[in-house]
Amino acid sequence: MPVAPSEPDAVRAVRRRFAWCFAAVGALAALAFLFSFCIGKYPLTVEEIGAILFGGEVGQLKRDVFLNLRVPRAVMSFLTGVGLGLAGSVYQIIFKNPLAAPDIIGVSSGANLGAAVAVVVFGGSTMLLASSAFVGGLLVTFMVIALVRMTDRNSMATYILAGVVMKAVSESFIMMLKFFADPEKELAAIEYWSMGSFSNMTASKLAVVFPLFAVGLAGVVLLRRQVTLLGLQEDESRMLGVRVRGVRIGVLAFSTLMVTSTVCVTGLIAFVGLIAPHIARLLLKRNSFPVCVFASLVGGVILLVADVFARTIYSAEVPISILTTLVGVPFLLYFIMRRQGGDA
- Residue-level pLDDT at 7: 55
Strands, E assignment, the chain = none
Question: How far is it, in rounded angstroms, from Cα 211 to Cα 87?
Answer: 17
Contacting residues for 103 by C-beta, under 8 A, at least 6 apart: 109, 167, 273
Is 136 part of any domain? no
The verdict on residue 277 lying in a domain is: yes
Task: Inform me whether the pLDDT recorded for 121 exceeds 60.
Answer: yes
- Domain annotation covers residue 150: no
The pLDDT assigned to 340 comes to: 55
CA distance 175 to 163: 18
Query: Average pLDDT of the chain?
Result: 84
What pLDDT is stored for residue 298 in this prediction?
95
Alpha-carbon dihedral sign for residues 82, 32, 204, 133? negative
Instruction: Report residue 155's pLDDT band, with 50, 70 and 90 as the boundaries.
Output: low
Is 97 contained in some domain? yes
Q: Residues 276, 268: contact at Cβ < 8 Å?
A: no
The pLDDT tens digits of the residues spanning 31-52 come to: 999 999 998 888 888 899 998 8
Answer whether residue 163 is part of any domain: no
pLDDT of 280 reads 92
Confirm whether 184 is domain-assigned. Answer: no
Q: Over range 110-139, report the average pLDDT.
A: 81
Domain of 266? 7-101+196-340
* Mean pLDDT to the nearest integer, 149-173: 79
The DSSP code for 232 is: S
Task: Report the distance separating Cα 289 and Cα 274, nearest Å.
Answer: 16
Tell me, yes or no, whether 48 lies in a domain.
Answer: yes
Whole-number Cα distances in Å, 171 to 110, 228, 324: 9, 32, 22
Beta strands in 161-230 (DSSP E): none
